[in-house]
Amino acid sequence: MEAAVFISSLVDCCALIFLSVYFIITLSDLECDYINARSCCSKLNKWVVPEMIAQALATLLMLGSMHWFVFLLNLPVASWDVYRYVKVPVGNMGVYDPTEIHNRGQLKSHMKEAMIKLGFHLLCFFIYLYSMILALIND
């Protein structure tokens, strides 16, 4: 049972790593003017809710299997994703808004957030991988 939790968390983490890399590539394309702000934001906003669901799934899996350290490690990121989604101002296109993405350094902060999430998901990947191997050896 424990190995199945970590295998599903590992697959979920791989999807989150892919999404983080996708966000970084799309934001860097906007920074280099390869795509316009509207298409960049529509591409990224399409993946905000699936990212939030995947992060919440990993958090709930750790809560359900009573792995408290990993649960507490995932909780701030899941909370941040929900907070960011709920705090979208009325009238904006979504978390990423084309009219505001170039204002006040938002592009740089979105890029920094995507890089931090990539590092976090890579750390979680290795934690899940180690825990999965340990669970498979113990079974």
**What's the mean pLDDT in 110-126?**
97
| pLDDT per position as a tens digit, 69-94 | 999 999 999 999 999 999 998 888 89
What pLDDT shows up at residue 139? 80
Give the tens place of pLDDT for each residue, 127-138.
999 999 999 999
- What is the number of structural domains in the chain? 1
Assign 103 a pLDDT band (cuts: 50, 70, 90): confident
**pLDDT of the residue at 91:** 87
What angle, rounded to 10 degrees, do the helices at 48-64 and 68-86 form? Answer: 150
The per-residue b/e assignment along 34-70, b for 16 or more CB within 10 angstroms, e otherwise, is: eeebeebbebbbebbeebbebbbbbbebbeebebeeb
Shortest CA distance to 23 belongs to which of 96, 97, 131, 90? 96
Predicted confidence band at 26 (pLDDT cuts at 50, 70, 90)? very high
3-state secondary structure of 99: coil
Task: Report whether 48 contacts 20 (CB < 8 A).
Answer: no
* Domain boundaries, position 78: 1-138
d(CA 68, CA 62): 7
Going by the DSSP 8-state scheme, the letter that residue 53 receives in this structure is H
3-state secondary structure of 89: coil
Give pLDDT, residue 86. Answer: 95
Say whether pLDDT at 55 is over 90. yes
- Report the alpha-carbon distance of residue 89 to residue 92 in Å, rounded: 6
Backbone angles phi, psi at 83, to 5 degrees: -60, -45
